[in-house]
Structure formats: C-alpha cells, structure tokens
C-alpha cells in the first residue's frame, strides 16, 4: 500500500519511513527541508531512504494549501503518518507565527487531504507536553490537558481536537501519539543528548536547566517505530462504551484516540548525563541554570493503553540507548 509520511527528512520521520520501506510498503515522503537546523543532516537521512525503489520524495510546505491538496490527489495514500511540524519547544517563543502556520494550518491541510481521498487511517505526532501544568505522575491519557505551558504544546493540543472533529464529521480514523522525549541515532541537533554529546566532546559547558533536577521518560527511537507501525495497522474505532454523560478524555464515540508512547521509566537527568559521560569516556562540565519558562520538572508515561492495544511498550533503558547514540554520533561526525 502507499503510505504518505510527512516530515520524512526528520528524525522520527526517517526512521518510520525506513521501517515501512523495509517491510515492503510504497512510501511517499514529504518535507520542506527548512533550515531550522543543519539541512545536511536532513539530506543524509533522505539518502538512506533513496536506496529503496519504493520511496518517492516530494519537497513542499504544509502551509501551502494548493500544493498539499495536489499531493493528496496525485498520491492518493491509503494511510498517512503525519510527523512534520515546527519542532523545538523554546523556539516557539521567538517565532510563534511559524508554529501556527506549520502545526495548525499545516495539520488542517493534512486533514483536508485525508478527507478528499478517503484515507483509512491518519496517525499523527502529538507530545507529552500537552499535559502541561498537570503534575500527577505518571501521565495518563484520561488526565486533563487543558493547561498547556508552551505554544508548541498548545498547537499539539489543537491537533488532537481538530482530529476529533474530522473523525466526527467525516469518519476519518485518527490516532494521536503523545511522544515522551524520543532520542536515538539521526536525532535533531537541538535535542538534549545531541547537544550534551557535542558539548562534552568539545570540552564546553553543558547548559542544564532546573539545576539538573529534571526527570524524563526517555524513549528510544526503535521502540517508537515499533509502536507507531503497530498502531498504524490498527485504525481507531469508536468506543461503544463511551458515555456522553460521563465523557472520558482518552476515547470517543467516533474513531479517534490518543496514546502515550513512553515506557514509564523516568530517569533523573543527572543520572542520564552520567551514563553519557561513561559512554564518551569524558567528564562533563555542568552549567546549572534555573527552570526555564514552559519547562515541566518531571515526565513519566502511563503506557497501559498502548500496551493493551499492541501488546508492547517502549522498554529500552538509557544504559543501552545512550551508548548506541554515542556510537552513531561519532560515526556520523567521523570521530
């Protein structure tokens, strides 16, 4: 079948597209190759996909309504994996309009494309950031997401609501995946382990916010890909037990759902840095800074719904994942 993967030159997008190609699907990748970070890394990712005859790459911007409409009409994908977005939580404070254009208007264009050609299942990226000011751990899909702390989180919350409206109006099966701190090879340079590794290798101080007192539910990229493909193969359905008098936040009377993608293995940030130091064979210089606006001190996923649906949850510990990331980093940079 043909699967449209948006953000295919991105971190998660490349890994998902690669896994789909390896299992024999035809993949049409979409990316605008914007310069938010080094475009050479994006081209290097795409070079891995180009080895497969079933891969087609298209360069276009999600905010271009005519281009996205034409793409759907031309490709007519059976399923869509929507991972393209303006990434970076802190960057939203500098460029808010870019986030709305990409993450909200762009998502609308994807929904309209799915409606126009009758896509059977749309799986899209949400984020653990939607839990916002909620501090009840672990985060469960049934908990409130009404208090986002960043514009990035607000755009993803908007995506979940928009997906529900299209599931209701047009019967489009949608699944939103709330990713928890995904890391691994081919990651973005603005992500923690990439930045920390570069700083340690160069003998530079590591900016560590909240005095290093964060805990994070780090999720290994291969576990994310396994979960996403398993969800993609099971289009969402209306919950027959859903009660409008006692509405549940995690399900609906229409084919819509949201799922946490995290292993509920929160790790103190300083412990993760210690694992990184050991993998690199070097000692970090920590620049301990206050909590930044919009940051939450701790994250931990309740993966029960994901586990019940696909019979698996992310399980790779940082003691395994971080050394693998370091191996890739040094290979990629020729160290």
Active site residues: 152
Cβ-contact 265, 217 below 8 angstroms: yes
Phi/psi of residue 80, each to 5°?
-130, 130
Phi/psi of residue 178, each to 5°?
-90, 95
**What's the CA gap between 223 and 211, in Å, rounded?**
29
Would you tell me the crossing angle of helices 318-332 and 192-202 to the nearest 10 degrees?
60
Residue 150 CB neighbours (<10 A): 21
Task: Report the C-alpha dihedral over residues 18, 19, 25, 26, rounded to 10 degrees.
Answer: -20
User: 3-state class of 57 per DSSP?
Assistant: strand
Q: How far apart are the first and last CA of the chain?
A: 40
- Helix count and strand count (H, E) for the chain: 11, 13
The length of the chain is 335
**What's the CA gap between 181 and 292, in Å, rounded?**
17
Distance of CA 266 to the CA centre of its chain: 18
Q: Which residue has the tokens 């929160």?
A: 266
Residue 177 CB neighbours (<10 A): 24
Q: What are 11's two structure tokens?
A: 């971190």
The CA distances from residue 6 to 45, 83, 275, 320, 328, in Å, are 14, 5, 33, 29, 24
User: 3-state class of 287 per DSSP?
Assistant: strand
């Amino acid at each position: 079948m043909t699967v449209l993967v948006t953000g295919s030159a991105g971190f998660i997008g490349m890994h998902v597209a690669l896994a789909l190609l390896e299992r024999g699907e035809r993949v049409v990748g979409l990316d605008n190759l914007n310069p938010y970070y080094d475009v050479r890394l994006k081209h290097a990712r795409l070079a891995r996909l180009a080895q497969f005859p079933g891969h087609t790459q298209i360069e276009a911007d999600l905010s271009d309504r005519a281009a996205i409409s034409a793409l759907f009409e031309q490709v007519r994908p059976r399923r869509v994996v929507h991972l393209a977005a303006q990434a970076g939580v802190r960057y939203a404070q500098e460029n808010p309009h870019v986030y709305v254009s990409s993450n909200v208007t762009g998502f609308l264009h994807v929904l309209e494309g799915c409606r126009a050609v009758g896509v059977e299942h749309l799986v899209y990226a949400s984020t653990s950031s939607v839990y916002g000011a909620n501090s009840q751990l672990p985060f469960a899909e049934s908990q409130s997401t009404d208090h986002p702390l960043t514009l990035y989180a607000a755009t993803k919350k908007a995506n979940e609501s928009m997906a529900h409206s299209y599931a209701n109006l047009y019967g489009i099966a949608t699944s939103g995946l709330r990713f928890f701190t995904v890391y691994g090879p081919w990651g973005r340079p603005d992500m923690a382990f990439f930045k920390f590794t570069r700083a340690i290798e160069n003998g530079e101080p590591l900016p560590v916010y909240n005095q290093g007192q964060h805990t994070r539910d780090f999720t290994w990229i291969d576990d994310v890909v396994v979960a996403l493909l398993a969800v993609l193969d099971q289009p969402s359905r209306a919950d027959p037990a859903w009660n409008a008098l006692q509405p549940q936040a995690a399900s609906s009377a229409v084919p819509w759902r949201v799922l946490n993608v995290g292993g509920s293995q929160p790790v103190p940030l300083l412990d993760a840095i210690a694992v990184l130091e050991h993998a690199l064979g070097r000692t970090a210089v920590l620049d301990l800074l206050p909590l930044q606006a919009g940051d939450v001190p701790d994250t931990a996923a309740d993966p029960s719904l994901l586990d019940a649906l696909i019979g698996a949850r992310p399980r790779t510990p940082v003691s395994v994942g971080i050394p693998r990331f370091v191996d890739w980093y040094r290979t990629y940079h020729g160290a």
